[in-house]
Amino acid sequence: MKNVGRCTLFALQFFLAGIAIAATGAESLQKCLDMQGQAASEDTLECYNRTSQDLLTKKHPKSFRIARDRGIAEEWVPSDEPVRVYKQNYFLIFAHSSNPNNTPTSPNPDNQVPFTYALDNKEIKFQISLKAHLAGSGRHALWFGYTQLSFWQAYDREHSSPFRENDYEPELIYSFRPENVGLAGFTASFLNAGLVHQSNGQAIPRSRNWNRFYVQVGIERDFGEYGKLALQPRWWRRLGGNAVDDDNPDIIQQLGNGEFEARYYYRQGVLSAIARIHSLQLDLALPAPRVLGVLIQNANFHLQYFNGNGESLMDYNQRHRSYGLGISMPFE
């Protein structure tokens, strides 16, 4: 019952957003219906126009406009909004792993995790990623970003459906957006520099963490009716680490010194890829089916495939394949 209650609570959070918008729309529409025969026809028509515009605004709030229309540089324009979308936000209701990591290891003897029980190869995986504008204006801005990646063994009722891993990633980001810089058909959209900490928040022997400084560039090319391509390579340097008591001294050898992200926007869909030295993750987001779209606002149907090591911090040196399906929020 505990597992069912958790799932129900999470689902309700999504459903309530759609219900609230539907209720607001019904109330406004009823006011227009009541005006018929009681007010001038021009006033009644204006009521219907106003109601439709309000519903469109609520259904597609500014925070979730797609970058295909505005360009990825607009993701880093200083904003008065309290928070904005950062990386992908998704909820995979079903994720399957080819090789669950039952005994996580590290070169540090204190970080060898003994076998307790066999993990379920089916779980729920979700990521929440937001950012907030702290300071700056014009082409320069300072941001705070936060990303949380979670792996929930929701289908393992025998062991009370535990969360096997939560990876927390706060970061401080300086962003600069150049003007009229292009090369070979691509436009330079932004240059970011950041300080990031990533940790799973656990005690030894399960503790994994590292700190990095990184530089990231964003370039894009618009192909008109054939879509838009955005490339966002990122290079990093680990800060500290390699000490005798380091939780994961070989993390650079396993995850490399950077990653390459590519997004291709075509019509209402987005295909993205994130490649590292020993891994590849592919994500496909498509408009949600009509029934799902009515209940969940701003939702995409989401497919994900991962191959390599480093899907989570605990699995930084463990190789496996996984795939999942669920829903996601569109990129800005």
**Which residues are known to be catalytic?**
197, 199
Tokens representing 47 are 């009521």
Under DSSP, is residue 276 helix (H, G, I), strand (E, B) or coil? Answer: strand
Residue type, 125: K
CA dihedral 162, 164, 170, 171 (to 10 degrees): -160
CA dihedral 30, 31, 37, 43 (to 10 degrees): -130
* Inter-residue contact 267 to 280 (CB < 8 Å): no
Tokens representing 287 are 């408009």
Residue 97 pairs in a beta bridge with 322
* Inter-residue contact 125 to 305 (CB < 8 Å): no
Residue type, 285: A
311-327: b (≥16 Cβ within 10 Å) or e: bbbbbbbbbbebbbebb
Separation between Cα atoms, residue 308 and residue 263, nearest integer Å: 20
Separation between Cα atoms, residue 79 and residue 135, nearest integer Å: 10
